[in-house]
Amino acid sequence: MDEIKKLLENMQREIKQQKTDMLEMKEDIKISINNNINEKFKNLQLKNELLEKKIEEQTIAINNFERHIRRKNLVIFGVEEQEKSYHELEKRIIDILNTNFNLKYDNNNIEAVRRLGRKSDKVRPVVITLSTLGLKIYIQKNKKRLEKTPYYIKQDYPIEILKKRKELQTQLKKEKELGKKALIKYDKLIVLNDKEKKKSHNNASKRNLSESRELSEPKLPCNPGNNTQKQAKYNQYDTE
């Protein structure tokens, strides 16, 4: 009887030990699985962060490239769609510029012209690419000459930038209502403090004095190959 009792006690101990071992094994497996999952998650998270960084860098590069290729562009509104060919549209744009800006441009001063958007009942604006940044700056600074005409000129922005600038208009209005000097520069709202206002005013005065000599009547390029030096000269202007 005692032997049977001892045997049962041994069996109970063994069963209890087995249960303990199984629980420990289960916990070890759980920890191992969790560690494995955590490791894989960390790897995926790292890859995702690297991918997001790469996408962000590529987006910045694309935006910079798009801004670069548009730097000599202007958009003219109000030009009736009467042209039957590219050359007719180009000639019409040259006539508008020469008539209103007292210039003597020809097709050597314009790289390209095109209507913006699909043809519809509304008159589409015309995107023009000028041969130099200097010509663009001159037209921008003298765009008031178009005030008594059916035409007006705007900067050529990508759609995303146009949306951003539109969103910033509300904040711009609020800042001005508070008596602050504020402006939208490309896709950023800039609020100037008193020191910046004075510095900006002084810089503008100096720049206007210099530009009044150089840009009042821009020289037409005799040799397109010499545009590199002019381009470098006007790269200092970060037009809006």
pLDDT tens-digit profile of 83-132?
999 999 999 999 999 999 888 888 889 999 999 888 888 999 999 999 99
Three-state DSSP state, 215: coil
Handedness of CA 208, 212, 217, 223 (dihedral sign): negative
Give yes or no for residue 146 having a pLDDT over 60. yes
Residue 168 or 74, more confident: 74
Which residue do the tokens 């549209």 mark? 89
Measure the CA–CA gap between 103 and 139, rounded to whole angstroms: 10
Query: 207-216 long-range CB contacts below 8 Å, 24 or more apart?
Result: 211/137, 211/141, 215/134, 215/137, 215/138, 215/141
Report which residue type is found at 16.
K
| Nearest Cα to Cα of residue 231 among 35, 83, 71 | 71
